[in-house]
Chains A and B, each alone.
Chain A
Amino acid sequence: MIVPLEHILILAALLFFLGLGGLLAWRTNLIMMLVCIEVMLNAVMLVFVGGSTQWGNADGQIFAIFIMALTSSEVSLALAMVVYLHRRKRTVNTDLFSEMKG
């Protein structure tokens, strides 16, 4: 451990809330919403790895790897859905996908 755990937690909190603010601000664009979700998950991984290093336990790194696999499957499904929605309405604006009947 090179720095105290608090500094890593502060860095992860900054990244997480930047992602959250971006998600709230870009709520009309599907692609940027997914990008901001990536930022948030990355910050969560930073917390896991920091805890793993602090207590010398390998489980944090293992959970970070799980989050990575989860993120890749989530992104592949979400981008396939973006392609599908774009094929239907020629846009990625989330306000236009407001009715369920399609």
Chain B
Amino acid sequence: MEQIIFYILAAVAVIGTVLAISEKHPVHAILYLVTSLFAVAVVFYLLMAPLVAVFEVILYAGAIMVLFLFVIMMLDLGHPEKGFSPHWREWLPALLLSLVSIASLVMVIVSRHSQLAVPAAQSIPIREVSRRLFQGHGVAVELISLQLLFALVGALYLGKQQASSPGLPPSSAPERVSGSEEKSP
């Protein structure tokens, strides 16, 4: 039963990703990707990792994809006729390289009959995961928190309005002047 659900979810994830990367409209691509991420989250739940599954839904599908949608709508990029969708001549080498890589990797995985038995279904409790996280990997948690802080500071700096960045004189940056002229009306 769970095996059948896994294969159905794998098909949903792969088809959703294919539709997401081949869709010309960015908003539709994000929505297809949300579908794929939900399928992967249920796969995580089937793999006895409920914490990662919940974080996948909350962080990936809930926060990151909404951030993408917000930026696409704020910058008004949802026009596929203006967008730079790839021609089929650009799809051809990408598909060729991906197919060669997928075929070689699948052949390696299938040909090497591993002696890994399918272990019994044993769930790692969240208490164990969090104890391992904060007791065994404390330095990594600190580093990740520092990295989030740096990302916050960098995003604040990049998102500031240009009037408050008097670093360059206007004569040395013509496109910046033209951009501000376009923005001002």
Contact = CB atoms under 8 A, between A and B. Distances in A.
Interface in A43-95: 45-46, 49-50, 52-56, 58-59, 61-62, 64-66, 68-77, 79-84, 86-90, 92-93
Interface residues of B, number: 89
A18 B159 contact: no
A62 B144 contact: no
Interface in A1-31: 1-11, 13-15, 17-29, 31
Nearest to B149: A73
Interface of B is mostly: helix
A2 B21 contact: no
A64 B171 CA distance: 48
Interface in B8-44: 10, 13-14, 17-18, 20-22, 26, 29-30, 33, 36-37, 40, 43-44
Contacts of B136: 59
Contacts of A87: 162, 179, 183
Contacts of B95: 21, 25
Contacts, number: 237
Which 8 residue pairs spanning A and B have beta carbons closest together? A22-B21, A21-B98, A73-B151, A24-B94, A80-B155, A80-B158, A25-B94, A28-B84
Interface of B: 2-3, 6-7, 10, 13-14, 17-18, 20-22, 26, 29-30, 33, 36-37, 40, 43-44, 46-49, 51-52, 55-56, 59-60, 63-64, 67-68, 71-72, 74-75, 77, 83-86, 90-91, 93-95, 97-98, 101-102, 105-106, 109-110, 114, 116, 118-122, 124, 128-129, 132-133, 136-137, 140, 144, 147-148, 150-152, 154-155, 158-159, 162, 173, 175-176, 179, 182-183
